[in-house]
Every structure is written in C-alpha cells, then in structure tokens.
Amino acid sequence: MELSTYALAIVQGDTLDAKLTPPAAALTDRAPGPALRLEAPGRPPNLAIRPGRLARVPRAQGMSDPAQRARILHAAANHELQAVELFAWALLAFPDAPPRWRRGLLCILLEEQTHCRRYAERLAAFGLAFGDLPVSGYFWHKTPTLTSPLRFVCAMSLTFESANLDHALDLAARARAAGDETSAQLFARIHHEELRHVRFGWRWLARLKDPTHSMWQAYCAHLTYPVRPAFARGAAFSVEARRRAGLSEDFILELKRCPEIVASRPERKAPRCQPGASQAPPAEPQARGAPKRNVRAGT
C-alpha cells in the first residue's frame, strides 16, 4: 500500500480502529500524489469534534481526584488521536517533502497510535471508554496555518510536543502523588517516547531553515500567531528533557525565558515573533477571574 493511501484512510476513517491500526505490511512512497489539505477528519459520532467550551479539561491539580484524573486521561487520548490524524494530514498535504521527512512522520504516527491506545485502555480503570466525554479539535484548528513542512515541525514537534514534555512529567508526578502508579508510569513512558518526536522537529528545523537564520530565529519566523514560543513549555520547564531531545543550550534558554501562559481567553491581534527577535513573546493578557489554561497532555 502507498503511504498516501494509508494516510487518507486514517484522516477520513470514521472508526477508531481505522485510525489506530498500523499498516499490515511495509508501505511504499512511490506516488505521493497531489497535495491534499483536508479540512476536517472523519470520526465516529462519539468522537466528533465539539467546541472547546463543551470539552473543557481539568487543570493538572485535578489529578488528585480520580474523577478529574479520568477526564485528563480522556483529553490525553484525544490529543494523541489528533496527533495521529495530523501526521497523516501532513503526509497528504506535503507530497513533495523530502522522502526522509515523510518516512519520519510515519514512524511518529505509528507511535502516536500506541499512545492513543494506551490512554484509551487506561480509561477502563475509571469506568470510562474513549468517546464517553466530548472532545475538542485543538490541533485541527491550526491546520490552515501549517503551510509548509517547516511550519509543520515548528508547530507540532517543537511547540505542542515540546510543551507536552513538561505536561506529561507534571502529570506523572501528580498521579504518583495521588497513589496512581499505573497512570504515573503511563505518562512517564509517553514523555520518554515524545523526546524522539521533538528531536525529529529539531533536526528538520536545522535542515529546512534559511541557513542565514539561527535556529531560534527560524523557529520564531515559522510560527503563526497565536501559536508562539510560550506555547512550547509547561508550568514546570524541564531543561533536561530538552537536552535529551537534542536542543541546543541557546535555544533552551530562549524557551525557558518565555512566560508561562496562565490565562485562556480570546486572542488579540498581535505581531508575530520576528526573525532576529530574542525576547520572549508578549504575555497573554490577564483577565480577572480568567480560567487557567487547560492541560494538554502528551501527543
């Protein structure tokens, strides 16, 4: 089977199995076909994308409460499902990308399938199945801005997956503190596997960027507001995780300088981070009583 055929079946599939079943045999990539930018995925009815306000995720502090922990695990499964779909989406959107980039995307996609399955299986311990709660489409809403392989890795690998290095570590620690060692080990294992995904983005940023730009300049230049470097970190910033993912000390320092995003509210018009800018991007406006940013766990 061709890689693009498999990717199309994942994005358009309307069952969970269609999205989470690895290919039966090695895929070929001889005919990637024309660029195809699908606007939305096929989904079973119980996993239809709902407005964010209907799919709120508890804050990380909720891990101490089993009911809230189950909702966080459900959200984590949803993020993994979107990751599966988005990597398949990118394979369809960028048929002219380097074959090694496309092969790398497939490897990550296969790991995201296992992540989604593991979170979904863990839900059973809480009397839930994946799809029992409403799910949002956070990643899918970003696809109009992902207009090149470089923009894709800057957003997915070096921002969302980077932030999830912190989130997963935090959730693992909180699950352990709550006495849920099984969930703790699950978050920790997925954190470990996500290091490779961030490393993939780092390597391709180096290969695809303008050689006159620094890594940080190129990264900033290929994010589209409201996504910005501050989105690439969690509350507890792990320098060690970034080192293990292969990021340079300079880049890690720039990320660490970014303010943690603590509020969630409609974005105001703001300038994009410009190449050459080394300062942290503007902090989000603080609203009185504004809700804390939702947890985003593991991709």
Which residue ranges make up the site for Fe ion (CB under 5 A)? 80, 112, 115, 161, 194, 197, 299
Q: What CA–CA distance (Å, rounded) separates 129 from 117?
A: 11
- State the minimum distance, in angstroms, from the CB of residue 292 to Fe ion: 23
- State the minimum distance, in angstroms, from the CB of residue 38 to Fe ion: 20
Closer residue to Fe ion (CB): 109 or 133:
109
Closer residue to Fe ion (CB): 187 or 219:
187
- What angle do helix axes 66-93 and 3-12 make, rounded to 10 degrees? 140
Please state the separation of Cα 139 from the chain's center in Å: 7
- State the minimum distance, in angstroms, from the CB of residue 70 to Fe ion: 19
- State the minimum distance, in angstroms, from the CB of residue 120 to Fe ion: 13
Residue 135 backbone dihedrals phi, psi, to 5 degrees:
-125, 150
On the 0-12 / 13-18 / 19+ scale of CB atoms within 10 A, 271 is exposed
Paired residues of 274 in beta bridges? none
- State the minimum distance, in angstroms, from the CB of residue 204 to Fe ion: 14
Please state the separation of Cα 203 from the chain's center in Å: 17
Q: What CA–CA distance (Å, rounded) separates 133 from 47?
A: 8
Closer residue to Fe ion (CB): 221 or 255:
255
Q: What does the radius of gyration of the chain's CA atoms come to, in whole angstroms? A: 18
Closer residue to Fe ion (CB): 112 or 284:
112
Closer residue to Fe ion (CB): 78 or 299:
299
